[in-house]
Chain A
């Protein structure tokens, strides 16, 4: 099976712009989670989608939003970019399993640089 794919891999934007990142999960995986990784804050959870519904959200401002399509592909959007939004954005997909067996598989990430 193909792994999680993310596009684009690299992106340079300027402050005030907006950006949309895309994630295609592993075939059959219906849960998609997004994370932000920075040197200062480490890996932080943004939000999780399952069957086109946001089930869980981390502690990020409303400028960060996402959505999931019927084919489980997901996008995240960041509006009014700030310098501090420069980060590696990681997407992960998983099967929804009972009994605490859910493994998240990560994509290669999108590295965003805000100038």
Chain B
């Protein structure tokens, strides 16, 4: 069953704007990871945030994690047409091994 739920399901913005995607989950986690997928291809790892971290940055990406609310957000700043893709959050449940639980994803469209 899906643990993560992304919000919104779809997002359409203009190049240069910021895109924010949210993710909620249900159980205790070791970490939360964000992935990007282009047109049904493989998943590209973007960023991992551990349960004891609150915020991480990587280039134009900013991820926050609120374990008390069981939620995370991914911010992409100054978006580009090449950022058009589906974005998934995935949680590594505490006590589990090698098992990521994915949300249904947010489909981001960045218009030039």
Q: Do A108 and B42 have beta carbons less than 8 Å apart?
A: yes
Q: Do B30 and A104 have beta carbons less than 8 Å apart?
A: no
Q: Do A103 and B48 have beta carbons less than 8 Å apart?
A: yes
Q: Which partner residue on chain A sits nearest B105 by CB separation?
A: A42
Q: Do B96 and A56 have beta carbons less than 8 Å apart?
A: yes
Secondary structure of the A side of the interface?
strand
Chain B interface category by residue count: 20 to 34
B45, B52, B105: the one contacting A105 at CB < 8 Å is B45
What residues on A are CB-neighbors of B31 within 8 Å?
100-102
Q: Do A107 and B104 have beta carbons less than 8 Å apart?
A: no
Q: Do B50 and A50 have beta carbons less than 8 Å apart?
A: no
What residues on B are CB-neighbors of A21 within 8 Å?
none
Query: A90-B42, A109-B42 are known contacts. Are A100 and B100 too (CB-CB below 8 A)?
Result: no
Among B15-23, B33-41, B55-63, the stretch in contact with A: B33-41
Q: Do B96 and A101 have beta carbons less than 8 Å apart?
A: no
Q: Do B35 and A48 have beta carbons less than 8 Å apart?
A: no
Within 13-62 of A, Cβ neighbours of B (below 8 Å) are at: 31-33, 35, 37, 42-45, 48-50, 55-56, 58-59
Chain A interface (Cβ < 8 Å from any Cβ of B) = 4, 31-33, 35, 37, 42-45, 48-50, 55-56, 58-59, 88, 90, 92, 94, 99-109, 111
Known: A37-B40, A48-B97, A104-B45. 14 other contacts (CB 8 A): A31-B98, A42-B2, A44-B102, A45-B101, A56-B98, A94-B98, A100-B50, A100-B92, A101-B50, A102-B30, A103-B33, A104-B33, A106-B42, A108-B41
